[in-house]
Amino acid sequence: MREPVEKLIEQYQKHIFAAAFSVCRNIADADDVVQDTFLKYHCSKKEFSSHEHMKAWLLRVAINKAKDHARSFWKKNTVSIEELMTASADNEEISPARKDERIRILEDVMKLPTKYRIVIHLFYYDELSVAEIAKVLGLSEGNVKTRLSRARNMLRNEILEVEAYV
């Protein structure tokens, strides 16, 4: 099964961008990764068994390309909180207190090591199941569960640390 690139862009561009951004932490770099991912699909002759298989392949390619980009010499080390909020999938009106909380959570997630940040992103933002994440990342389900657990613990500890100072 092969789909036209235009249709895939329409369906999966936001998901691929979000996955790339979670690794790159930079909007421009994530945009480059999205383009590279769809270009790789266009140039490949790979056949897919289902839409889920196609989505998993696209996410895997995007994550690998984002990791390569993040390791490159030109990788940028910082990103402003404004860019983080712009990259947020939701641009709805929210209260200032809720916005502050969302910013703090995003900051904490972005501090996680890449392998934990990716599983958090795929589970909570892309709403993939543990089995789907395992397939996308080429890991066992147990490994995905372990990474999710460790990431949650890191986030919990960070939140408790901040609350101890408040």
Q: How far apart are CA 160 and CA 72, in angstroms?
A: 34
Lowest mean pLDDT among 23-37, 81-95, 99-113: 81-95
* Full domain range(s) for residue 89: 5-165
Mean pLDDT value of segment 63-73: 80
pLDDT at 166 over 80: no
- Write down the pLDDT at residue 89: 45
Mean pLDDT value of segment 41-51: 90
Mean pLDDT value of segment 64-73: 79
What per-residue string of b and e applies to 63-88 under the rule 16 or more CB within 10 Å gives b? bbbbbebbeeeeeeeebeeebbeebb
- Write down the pLDDT at residue 97: 67
pLDDT at 91 over 60: no
Q: Do residues 33 and 24 touch, judged by C-beta distance below 8 A?
A: yes
Instruction: State the burial class of residue 104 (Cβ atoms within 10 Å of its Cβ: 0-12, 13-18, 19+).
Output: middle
- Write down the pLDDT at residue 79: 47
Lowest mean pLDDT among 7-11, 28-32, 95-99, 134-138: 95-99
66: Cβ–Cβ under 8 A, 6 or more apart, which residues? 19, 20, 22, 23, 24, 29, 30, 33
pLDDT > 90 fraction of the chain, expressed in percent and rounded: 47
- Write down the pLDDT at residue 16: 95
Q: What is the pLDDT of residues 70-84, one digit of tens each?
A: 776 444 444 444 555
Mean residue pLDDT across the chain: 82
Q: What is the pLDDT of residues 95-139, one digit of tens each?
A: 666 677 777 778 888 889 989 999 998 888 888 899 999 998 999
- Write down the pLDDT at residue 94: 59
Question: How many structural domains comprise the chain?
Answer: 1
pLDDT at 14 over 90: yes
Q: Which two tokens stand for residue 121?
A: 């992103």
Query: Residue 23 is part of a domain; what is its CATH number?
Result: 1.10.10.10
